[in-house]
Amino acid sequence: MANGRYAPIVLAFEPKALARCFLVADLLAEQYDEPLLEYGLIGLADRSRPLHVVETPLLVGQEVTVSTVEQSGANVLEMRREIQTLSRKRGSPMIPITFIHRHPGACRPSQTDHEFLAGVFIDQISTTHTFQEILSGESEEFLCRTCAASMPGRSRRAFRFNDSTVELEYAVGFSLIVNKEREYSITALRKEFCPSCGAGELCYVPAEMALRPQRPLTSHELNEVRKALELEIAAKVRFC
């Protein structure tokens, strides 16, 4: 459940990047007669605009069923090379900010979805990109539970007022689930690093999705997206 202490984080998508997330389902149904398969993509953002997704490549070498998406370690490395190639083409480093996958039915995250976001994915993001937030020295919330518990009230106040402000480092990862009906759900997880000991703590935060610029794709643009996805599906997706 999202933490109400935080304002919603808006993850924006370029129109083509978002369209791809849904069109894969159409192509699997139309060309492969597989209307129920899951599939996975990575939402990539420019490091200078980390909350704006501009590319959504399919996972390399993904093995898919009606309930799972799996990728081998070798293909994870190949995916990293693809991200590096996209970064060179765009002239700027790209970072993975959201994991996108399709559910055949409802878009509610499963326990596996939560475990993946809170484990492998947020760990990967936190080594790639972090944010900084300046907090008032009057707040005690920047201490991790271990540090807070180890400091009696007087010691905690002494720590709190050493400086008037504290710089808090954190990472944010998103999970976007879509289905063929163009429904979706988006989840955000925040990993905060204690300024005292550096330990990371996780909490869910409110999230929203936006289309920027907010416009429909032309028929020509949709046709381009479909053709690119046809080639990607053939090259990257293995049906199990």
pLDDT of residue 197: 81
Characterize the bridge pairing of strands 94-102 and 69-70. Answer: unpaired
In a domain, 1, yes or no: no
In a domain, 3, yes or no: no
In a domain, 2, yes or no: no
In a domain, 196, yes or no: yes
Mean pLDDT of residues grouped by 10 in the chain (240 residues)? 76 98 97 96 96 98 96 94 95 96 95 95 92 69 72 52 70 96 96 86 95 95 97 97
pLDDT of residue 168: 83
CB 152 within 8 A of CB 140: no
**Residue 84: what are its φ and ψ, rounded to 5°?**
-65, -40
Looking from the CA of 109 toward its CB, the CA atoms found within 13 Å total: 20
In a domain, 232, yes or no: yes
pLDDT of residue 57: 98
pLDDT of residue 158: 45
pLDDT of residue 109: 96
d(CA 41, CA 145): 35
* Furthest C-alpha separation in the chain: 68
In a domain, 49, yes or no: yes
pLDDT of residue 157: 46
In a domain, 4, yes or no: no
Residue-range definition of the domain harbouring residue 230: 9-239
The CATH number of residue 196's host domain is 3.40.140.10
If one counts the domains in the chain, the total is 1
**Residue 183: what are its φ and ψ, rounded to 5°?**
-85, 160
